[in-house]
Amino acid sequence: MRTEQAHFISRRQFIGSVATAGLVLPSLDFAATEPLPPMAGKGSTICIFSKHLHWLSIPEMAETAATLGFSGIDLTVRKGGHVAPERVVDDLPKAVSVIRTAGLDVPMITTDVISPDDPLTEPILKTATRLGIPNYRTAYLNYDRALGVAQSLDRYKEQLQKLAALNQKYGIHGAYQNHAGTRVGAAVWDLWELIKDIDPRWLGCQYDIKHAVAEGGMSWINGLDVLKAHIRCIDIKDFIWVKKADKWHDQVVPLGEGMVDFKAYFALLKQYSFSGPMSIHYEFPLGGADTGQRQLTMPRETVLAAIKHDLQTLRGFLKAAQLD
C-alpha cells in the first residue's frame, strides 16, 4: 500500500476534526487481512467517490465514510488514486479488506482502463473480479478531429468490443461515464452507437444525470431511455449554468440546489427497476476535496458536513421515489 505520509494527516488531527463535526470513529489501525466476503444489502448501495477523500488514508477514508452513513466506496484505482494501477495486485486486496472491515461494500472502482491492450488492464480486471467487485468505470475516449466523429466512432467500436470480450473473460462490467464536453459520450447518442450491439452484462454506461441534463436539456429523458439496458451503476451530482467572462459554464452545486429534476429522474429509475450502486460526486468548491487534492484548504469539519448533507439529501430523494 502506498503511504505518501506527507499527504496524510496525523491520527490525532483526524480524530479531532471528526469529533468537531459530531462524528465518533472506532480504531483506525490498518490491518492487511484477507478480504471479507462481498456484502449483500437492501436496495442500491450509496457510495462516496473516494476521489473526494484523497486527503485521508484508506483506513481513515473507510471509517469516515461508514460514520457519515455511506454503504459503499467507489474506489479510485487509477493514477493519483487511493490505489495506484501498477500496484493493483498487491494493494487493491488490502484496500478492499480494510473497507469491508469498516462495514462497507466496494461495488465499483474508477480506473484508467479503456484499451484491452494496455498491460495494466488485465491485472486490474482480474484482481477486481477475484475480490467480488462487479463494476468498474472506464477512462474516456477523444474524437480524432482528423477523422471526424463518424470515422472515430467506427474505430472505437472495435476497441470497445474487444474490451467487452475481456470483461466477459473475467466476469466484470465496464461502465463508460457520459460526460459533458467534446469527448466521446458527451451527447449520449454517440455512446449508444458505440455500445448498442455489445452485451450490456460486460460493457455499458455509468450514467451521469448532471452531464446528461447539461448536454441534453429537456431531452435527457430520451437519452436515458435508449441507454437504460446498459446502465448498471450511476453517479449523482447537480449543477447550474453561470456566466463568467462572457461565457456560460456548468457549475456543480450541492444536490437539490441545481437544475437536475431528481423527482423525475428517480421516478424513471424506479420504472426501469434500477437497483445498482450509486456514487455521489462532490465537485462544488470544497477546499480541494472537490478536485481530489491530498490536502484541504478549509476546515475538515466543514468538508465532512457538506458531504453528509448531500448524502442526506439523496436519501430523501430515494425515499420519496420509494427507492430506499
Q: Whole-angstrom Cα distance, residue 150 to residue 10?
A: 52
Position 43 scores a pLDDT of: 66
Cell numbers representing residue 58 in the block: 484508506
**Short-list 105, 74, 106, CA closest to 236:** 74
3-state secondary structure at position 134:
coil
Residue pLDDT, tens place only, 129-186: 999 999 999 999 999 999 999 999 999 999 999 999 999 999 999 999 999 999 999 9
Decide: 153 and 134 in contact? Cβ < 8 Å.
no
Listed in sequence order, the residues at least 6 apart from 16 whose beta carbon sits closer than 8 Å to its beta carbon are none
| DSSP annotation string for 150-200 | HHHHHHHHHHHHHHHHHHHHHT-EEEEEP-SSSSTTTTSHHHHHHHTTS-T
Domains of the chain from N-terminus onward: 5-320 (3.20.20.150)
Ranges of the chain whose pLDDT falls below 70: 1-43
